[in-house]
Structure 1
């Protein structure tokens, strides 16, 4: 009986384990400390040394051999498109559930797949490999602005930047390079005007024959990250037909085996379209194809690799399936704060804080299961759950989406994009299918407002007392910051209850040792009460690894998000205080932070000189939001 090592985590690992168990396969899960929820669905599990092991082909193969696994399923992301892992598996007589290594070398490389498309007369946007910002400049002067800089092996919005001006080339090139595992980039003409939609075709191949399972639309995006997907697309069938034909033609040319997706940009206004890339793996949004086609894609994927002689016809895929008459929507619920540029919102989620939707026509794929609490960290992506709704018509599934989103509730410290999702499906442009790839960027403010107004306003649940942040033994007390605290009254007249509260005044602040003052309550009853707050920790602020920036001190530059420092300005690493050695110009990168494999720049707000670096600040450390990066002086020293 086959035994599959699932080289992934989260909801997709659970999805694979469930499908394998239904087939009678044994399963092995990999997990890291604090991220074990998916491992509960496997027969065996192994703890990784670190999250980086998910990206190490040698480590993955070692785990497969150690557990006597016959198969490796890479899921999506991580090593799912790695020719190295596929080759290592073949060498060790372990079945890699995905295309052959030589196919992956073409399909996972965006320029190689473009070249394949061109050889088959499939249209592509102008593009060229680039090795420097100067190459991008030359390319842009040949084809015009705007241009895209892309990683050959990027995905999920990573390793891609759009440049409207030549002045943006240097920084965008650097950021894309940092987000590319192979550190290889190409430039492409940006097709971002009104009317351009993102459409992809699902294919399944057995190494000889290929069938398609129609298309999905993924036009609701922010910074090239998909947020909401629908199936089928809103395009006329006459425009979908050539996309389907191109996808099948390319897959057959590759002698493709497994699940795959061909992605396209389509402009319905002028019937123009171009090929973008191939995703040689199961997609995050495979769920909506499953619902409209009534087929378990992960199950079929496993069956296809159960025996070397398995064919599509033996799986009853004798011809392309009829166009579906039903509709489905997938909404990606993420741990991000839309009010703060969609920054990751790390922290703990307690089971009692979470309410997920259910009911007829609603499916939820999530890793928030089988536990009393979960931790949202900085090592992995922000996806909490995929809310999938399906029904007979687009109007019906839109109504189901609205209902499902209204049922979702999460109290506590972790913020989500629920208002954005709600605003999207309540917007008139959604109902009229007037969406293109930049629609959300143009309408984000109104979408968030509409989403907030459309959601039911619930009182916050009582939560387990906690004052400790995910990576820090102390708490930043700032205006607008929300905490869940249990306080003891300083006098017998105050009620000992849980309140929604606002700090009114602080009398004593040696926090985390002690904090005393008054609270303005707004839930149980109105009025002001005195309180004492203490934290059960032996670590004082002074002995912490980092310092907190004072948000009211203009000379403090703090981290605007939780993330790993991957780059620091030379002024923060140099001991030279003479001749401008500690000088930073306005707009220069004080630090570059990596969160979920995407890089964000902390820029200098003005010309300044670094007086000192924050405690513990160095490349490679993970810092929390509000941590002091540097103390600066506005007086720029003269070179004279």
Structure 2
């Protein structure tokens, strides 16, 4: 009997484990600390030593061999596009890699090699070149003109991609793409963006000899090249889609493609121009909507194609599929706060915080769930949204006979969806997208969301208010007044007149002779409550022994992940010289002025210089100096490799004092 190791996590691991279970295959999952929900869907589960092991070929192969697996399914991301994994399996064992051959994977996983192959077969591509330095990028841009796009050869999911509008932005963009590329290989190409340009992708499946397609998807609703809303099929004319289908089959046939693959294109609806972009040689995040319109379990078919003597005919996919008679939409729910620049919103969630949509034509793929094998001891009833993985919480997939019907189902599903607790989501953005007239008209392009984000968010918030749903936070029951709402979850009533006794004292340190701060006692009374969505937010007025006058207060839960505040120190947000971290993430690079051994002359920084680079979900974010000045001291615990929480002190930056003549 086949036995498959799913070398992935989250909703895609659950998706694969479910299809394997339906086939009667035995299943094995791998998981890490605080990220184990998917493992409860597998008969066996093996804990990895660290998150890095998901990218360690030897570690994954050892787990598969130890658990006597016959197959490894890599899912997407991680090792799914690495030729090293199938090569290691071929050299050391009889374990089958569920994916293209090493030769096909070598070409399809490399954006430049796949572009070269497409061009050799007469398929349109944009002008592009491999680059090894920012100077190479500038020379390329001087030849073809701005804007250009810098890409990591092994980027994906929006990582390792930057648009550059002028020469001044080349250095920083090149550095960021390099930092987000595991292989440190970069190329540049002419940027084809703006009104008219749509992102279309074709679903391919092959058995190593024959290939077929299962139509196309449109993925133009993007932010920073990360897809957010996808639909299938595209509403473009069939005449515009046919060249993409033909080109995909031509390239896949040349590769003798085996398994699932997605071939991506840009199409200009104004000029009818189109270009091939890349191949994703794996199951794709948005494969769900192809499944809906084709009534096909793609993962099941993918697994079966890697059994002896399997062909497209044996999995009933050798014939040309009929033109879809329905439409499907996928909406990606992420742990990001749109009101704060889509900043990651980590934190804990439990089942009481969640309410998922359901009903005919509605499907939810999520890792915020528990499977039938909780006895593995890897499920504790609470999930943690952290900074090690991407921000995807769930995929809401709907299907309708027409595009309008599918949109109506999407609208209804979003009204039913609720994520409580302190984790913020992009739910209002999803609602705003499908409420926008451009969605109905089909006039969305790849930069549409970024150009129209404020209006889309406003539309989504309006839809939220009119439907009465909670949009990511707890709210009072309709019968409760704004000044007397309950504390959701614990049943504690917070109301005006509530008196608290507060004791404050400093913590003594066994390693220091300095005495702790003397304890003090205070009283605090809530005079009024204007908003109670605790623990997400709480505001109103209070009377305390701190002040003779009443004080207005607003308490908002931070988006900071579970980092030890004792290791760091908080910035004084009222002091302009205190530079706080605006987000939670791993420090990957520091300005030389923040080095512990930096001398007085090295402590100077200039406005706009990167103080540190923080990696969040494998994307690098620059935190720049707000003004010129010397670094007077570094925040406690700040160094490369640590996870710095939101609001924690990076450094104290002194103001430059003008010299007097």
Structure 2 residue 139 is the aligned partner of structure 1 residue 131 = no
Q: Deviations 1:77-96 (Å, cap 9, x if unpaired)? A: 11100100111112221100
Query: How far apart are the structure 2 equivalents of 1:199 and 1:511?
Result: 59
Deviates more, 1:504-513 or 1:442-451: 504-513
C-alpha distance in 1 between matches for 2:144 and 2:325? 42
1:49-70 Cα shifts (integer Å, max 9, x gaps): 1111001111000101110111
- Higher mean alpha-carbon deviation, 109-118 vs 513-522, is at 513-522
Give 1:553's match in structure 2, choosing from 544, 568, 575: 575
Q: Partner of 2:31 in structure 1?
A: 31
Report what 1:16 is aligned to: 16
| Equivalent residues of 2:531, 2:540 under 8 A apart | no
Alignment of 1:35-50 (within 5 A): 35-50=35-50
TM-score (norm 1): 0.90
Q: Distance in 2 between matches of 1:166 and 1:369?
A: 48
1:630 and 2:645 matched: no
After TM superposition, the structure 1 = structure 2 runs for residues 220-259 of structure 1, keeping only pairs within 5 Å, are: 220-259=221-260
- Who is 2:493 aligned against? 498
Query: How far 1:597 sits from its partner (Å)?
Result: 0.6
Q: Report if aligned partners of 1:560, 1:625 keep a CA contact under 8 Å in 2.
A: yes
Deviations 1:83-121 (A, max 9, x none): 001111122211000001111110000000000000000
Contact 2:487 2:493 in 1 (8 A): no
2:307 equivalent in structure 1: 306
Q: Which stretch of structure 1 is more off in the superposition, 349-358 or 204-213?
A: 349-358
Q: Which runs of 5+ in 1 are unaligned?
A: 464-482, 488-495, 534-540
Which residue does the alignment assign to 1:87? Answer: 87
Whole-Å Cα distance in 1 between the matches of residues 247 and 565 of structure 2?
Answer: 61
Instruction: State the superposition RMSD in angstroms.
Output: 2.8
- The count of residues paired between Structure 1 and Structure 2 equals 603
- The corresponding residue for 1:418 is 427
Give the drift of 1:501. 9.7
Residue deviations 1:495-552, cap 9 Å, x none? x93349999999876599988534332468998666999xxxxxxx998100011111
Q: Is 2:54–2:79's contact at 8 Å kept on the other side of the alignment?
A: yes
Q: For residues 188 and 165 of structure 1, what CA distance do their matches in structure 2 show?
A: 14
Note closer, same or farther for the CA distance 1:129–1:254 as it changes in structure 2 (3 Å cut).
same
What does residue 275 of structure 2 align with? 274
Measured against aligned partners, the alpha-carbon deviations of 1:267-288 in whole angstroms (never above 9, x if no partner) come to: 0111100000000000000000
> Mean Cα displacement is larger for which, 370-379 or 54-63?
370-379
The correspondence of residues 195-344 of structure 1 with structure 2, limited to 5 A, is 195-307=196-308, 309-344=309-344
Structure showing greater relative contact order (alpha-carbon pairs closer than 8 Å, 6 or more residues apart): 2
Match of 1:375 among 377, 384, 403: 384
For residue 457 of structure 1, what is the aligned residue in structure 2? Answer: 468
* Contact residue 609 and residue 637 of structure 1 kept, 8 A: no
1:619 aligns with 2:640: yes
Q: 1:351 & 1:531 partners in 2: Cα distance?
A: 36
- Partners of 2:145 and 2:153 in 1: CA distance: 21
In structure 2, runs of 5+ residues without a counterpart are: 371-379, 477-485, 508-518, 533-537, 546-554, 556-562
8 Å CA contact 1:502–1:521 kept in 2: the answer is no
Question: How far 1:325 sits from its partner (Å)?
Answer: 1.1
Q: What does residue range 355-394 of structure 1 map to in structure 2 within 5 Å?
A: 355-370=355-370, 372-394=381-403
Distance 1:278 1:509, change over 3 A: same
Contact 1:462 1:498 in 2 (8 A): no
Are 1:589 and 2:610 an aligned pair?
Answer: yes
> In structure 2, do the counterparts of structure 1 residues 319 and 526 end up closer, same or farther at CA, with 3 Å as the change threshold?
closer
CA distance in 2, matches of 1:54, 1:139: 36
